[in-house]
């Protein structure tokens, strides 16, 4: 109904000059207003109000000028994304949706208060945020495509900064390079069998009609992202899932059938099919994780303490030991060196570096590293890894780069990125200006009195 209302509003605005219309935005009909039309897409007053409520404190300038223009720019990029067949996967989007939902729930005080604020159920809020973030990721990919051919040579970087005063050079905060080794404490077979039996009991209760899969997932699943939705996960392709989990999920054909217990990197699961479409599958699952025994934790800590002592005595180097002694798949093939992935705000592409600010490290690692000297090997400590499992770890502070003004010798990549970002931004700005000229734009008279960043909207 809301989509139909948008289309009718846009049609009236384009051809009949109407500025006000009714459509079902909530259980009650409310008056909304088409304020801009970009191509064949309408921007509504409610769109602006929603953005103002969400991001008002971070908006510089008049929100009733800034927000509509940003929405219009987004529509230009989204249209280009359709022309370029840009694809954004569920796996790209969902972690950000869950993080945003958790943040908003904490700010609101409870799930119920968040639902009251949005006048929507959590499922509806989640779907709304998914679509919004999917569009954001599409925009980022389009920007990356538009700037992919920009290259910068060392000579160009030197020329750019040749006459820049030293106090105008970028400020580089304290950064560290860290190497890590982890080992997971052994889980007793009887504990694994206990978890499997627990999951088999859930299956029996579901099959007997005593309860539903969704109810048990909400009560007992240890995957917080899906438990709140009765264990239901978003639609995924095979490559987006843990391989063992994917093999079982894609083998299911009957929504009434519960899978056998399957082990993944995250723990143990039972899975129920929701629907399968082409090369995508949507399932529910219940995740249970075996509990670690303190004796096994102590044994692993002693083993890691021995490795740390051997490293200090230089019996072998961290680089030599990590590929053979570490369980950490993310770093052991990199000789233990941790890598920091960041999103370039201009191009939307991922940038990888070995340098971290302390707040960018896992909190347990940051706490240990903050008291270490360069070259020092830590005592063993417990942490939660990227698979949400408890592991024993030791780290080496490989490098500590103190805060300083950027220099060509020490921070060439930083300075290169400054030049790259400038060239990318110039290209994006010119693309928007060119796109304005070839795109139909109509703005409600009451919304034109603005100093737009790109004046070409009003023709």
Q: 217: helix, coil or strand?
A: helix
Q: What percentage of the chain exceeds 90 in pLDDT?
A: 64
What CA–CA distance (Å, rounded) separates 381 from 242?
Answer: 27
DSSP state of 35: E
What would the two tokens of residue 125 be? 């809020």
Q: How far is CA 359 from the centre of its chain?
A: 17
List of residues 6+ apart from 443 with CB closer than 8 A: 35, 36, 68, 457, 458
Tell me which residue of 39, 42, 62, 38 sits closest to 52, measured CA to CA. 62
pLDDT tens digits for range 145-162: 999 899 999 999 999 998
pLDDT of 347 strictly over 80: no
Report yes or no: 189 and 293 within 8 Å, Cβ to Cβ: no
Helices (H), 28-89: 45-55, 63-83
Same fold, 174-186+293-402 and 189-288: yes
What would the two tokens of residue 348 be? 């939307």
What CA–CA distance (Å, rounded) separates 52 from 61?
Answer: 12
CATH no. of 174-186+293-402: 3.10.50.40
pLDDT at 327: 94
pLDDT at 6: 44
Tallying the residues shown for the chain, one arrives at: 459
Please spell the DSSP secondary structure of 349-389, one letter per residue.
-EEEES-B-GGGS-HHHHHHHTTPPTTPBPPPEEEE-TTS-
Strands (E), 84-174: 171-172
- Residue 57 confidence class, pLDDT cut points 50, 70, 90: low
- Residue 377 confidence class, pLDDT cut points 50, 70, 90: very high
CATH architecture of 2-148+443-457: Orthogonal Bundle (1.10)
pLDDT at 56: 60
Q: 400: helix, coil or strand?
A: strand
DSSP state of 258: B
Q: What are phi and psi of 287, to 5 degrees?
A: -105, 130
- Residue 16 confidence class, pLDDT cut points 50, 70, 90: very low
Reported as type and span, the H/E element at residue 179 is strand 175-183
pLDDT at 4: 37
pLDDT of 5 strictly over 80: no
pLDDT at 447: 93
pLDDT tens digits for range 401-412: 999 999 988 889
pLDDT at 13: 40
Domain spans in the chain, listed from the N-terminal domain onward? 2-148+443-457, 174-186+293-402, 189-288
CB atoms inside a 10 Å sphere around CB 256: 8
Most confident of 25-29, 123-127, 272-276: 272-276
pLDDT tens digits for range 159-197: 999 888 988 999 999 999 999 999 999 999 999 999 999
3-state helix, strand, coil in the chain (%, to 5): 50, 20, 30
List of residues 6+ apart from 194 with CB closer than 8 A: 290
List residues bridging with 175 in a β-sheet.
401
CATH no. of 189-288: 3.10.50.40
CB atoms inside a 10 Å sphere around CB 157: 19
What would the two tokens of residue 75 be? 């529509």
Reported as type and span, the H/E element at residue 303 is helix 294-312
What would the two tokens of residue 452 be? 């737009």
- The H helix count followed by the E strand count for the chain is 15, 15
């Amino acid at each position: 109904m809301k989509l139909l209302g948008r289309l009718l509003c846009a049609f009236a605005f384009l051809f009949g000059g109407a500025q006000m219309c009714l459509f079902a935005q909530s259980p009650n009909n409310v008056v909304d207003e088409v304020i801009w039309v970009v191509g064949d897409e309408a921007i509504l007053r409610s769109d602006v109000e929603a953005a103002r409520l969400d991001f008002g404190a971070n908006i510089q300038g008049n929100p009733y000028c800034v927000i509509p223009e940003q929405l219009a720019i987004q529509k230009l990029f989204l249209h280009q994304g359709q022309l370029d067949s840009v694809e954004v996967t569920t796996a790209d989007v969902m972690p950000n949706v869950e993080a945003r939902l958790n943040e908003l729930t904490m700010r609101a005080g409870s799930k119920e208060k968040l639902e009251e604020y949005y006048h929507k159920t959590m499922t509806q809020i989640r779907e709304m945020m998914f679509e919004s973030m999917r569009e954001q990721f599409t925009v980022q990919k389009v920007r990356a495509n538009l700037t992919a051919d920009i290259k910068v040579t060392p000579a160009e970087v030197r020329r750019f900064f040749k006459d820049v005063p030293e106090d105008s050079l970028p400020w580089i905060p304290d950064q560290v390079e860290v190497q890590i080794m982890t080992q997971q404490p052994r889980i007793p077979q009887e504990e694994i069998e206990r978890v499997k039996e627990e999951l088999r009991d859930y299956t029996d209760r579901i099959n007997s009609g005593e309860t539903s899969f969704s109810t048990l997932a909400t009560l007992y699943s240890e995957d917080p992202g899906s438990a709140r939705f009765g264990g239901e996960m978003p639609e995924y392709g095979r490559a987006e899932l843990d391989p063992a989990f994917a093999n079982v999920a894609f083998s299911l054909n009957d929504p009434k059938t519960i899978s056998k217990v399957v082990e993944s990197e995250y723990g143990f699961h039972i899975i129920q099919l929701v629907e399968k479409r082409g090369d995508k599958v949507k399932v529910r699952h219940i995740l249970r994780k075996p509990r670690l025994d303190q004796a096994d934790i102590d044994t692993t800590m002693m083993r890691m303490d021995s490795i740390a002592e051997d490293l200090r005595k230089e019996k072998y180097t961290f680089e030599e030991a990590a590929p053979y002694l570490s369980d950490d798949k993310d770093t052991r093939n990199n000789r233990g060196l941790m890598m920091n992935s960041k999103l370039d705000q201009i191009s939307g592409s991922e940038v990888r570096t070995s340098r971290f600010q302390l707040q960018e490290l896992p909190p347990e690692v940051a706490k240990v590293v903050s008291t270490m000297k360069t070259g020092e090997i830590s005592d063993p400590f417990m942490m939660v890894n990227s698979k949400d499992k408890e592991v024993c770890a030791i780290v080496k502070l490989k490098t500590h780069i103190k805060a300083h003004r950027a220099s060509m010798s020490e921070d060439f990549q930083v300075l290169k990125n400054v030049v790259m970002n400038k060239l990318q931004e110039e290209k994006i700005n010119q693309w928007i200006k060119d796109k304005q000229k070839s795109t139909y734009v109509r703005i409600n008279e009451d919304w034109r009195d603005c100093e737009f960043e790109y004046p070409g909207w009003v023709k």
